[in-house]
Structures are given as structure tokens and as C-alpha cells.
Amino acid sequence: MEKSIGYPFIVQMKESFQTAAKLFLVLEYCPCGNLRRILRKQRGDRLTELQARIYVSEIAMAIEYLHQNNIIYRDLKPENVLVASDGHIKLTDFGLSRELGEN
């Protein structure tokens, strides 16, 4: 999949390059880590109701955007939901994603 995606709740790829043995991707920096890390820091491994509402809404909007662009995101888990410095989420890891019409 080589489609360019630009959406506030999806991590942006800034650059890519490769050596003879490795491929490197330079992604947008999300200093707050992933949702799994945030859950572990919370009391009882739970988000507040407000946090949950915001994160679920942003995840739903990101997935809706992908579906509108014929991309199926197939690896939703806390480790693949990053949190940016502004507190908003960024979906990452599109390795299992498929474009509609692909085999």
C-alpha cells in the first residue's frame, strides 16, 4: 500500500530511506507513548470517562477516514494507538492494513 494519508489522528510518515540491508521510516514523534503505557500509569489500568470518550471518538474518526479512503485497518490494539504531546491519539502500524480491492 503506497497511498498517502493525511489526517490528524493518524501518525504521519516524515521520511523513508533504505540501506542495502534495512528500510528506515521516520515517523511523527509522539512523546506520550502508546495507550498501553498510559493505561499502566492510570489507577487500576483504567481511563477516566472523559479520556475514554475522547480516545474512542478519535479512533473512530481515524478509522472512518481510512474506510472512506478504501483502507481497512486490521491491527487495532493499545500498543498501536500513540498519544501526541497535545493529548490527541495517532493510529500507527499499518503493516496489516489492506486497501480494498487488494488480494
Residue 80, pLDDT score:
93
Question: What are the backbone angles phi and psi of residue 33, rounded to the nearest 5°?
Answer: 85, -160
What's the mean pLDDT in 71-80? 89
At residue 1 the predicted structure's pLDDT band, cuts being 50, 70 and 90, is: very low
Burial class for 55, CB neighbours closer than 10 Å (0-12, 13-18, 19+): buried
Does the annotation mark 75 as catalytic?
yes
Give the Å distances, CA to CA, from 68 to 6, 35, 94.
13, 25, 16
CATH code for the structural domain at 13-99:
1.10.510.10
Residue 12: CA count within 13 A, CB half-sphere: 7
Select which of 45, 75, 86, 93 is catalytic: 75
Residue 85, pLDDT score:
93
% of the chain exceeding 90 in pLDDT: 53
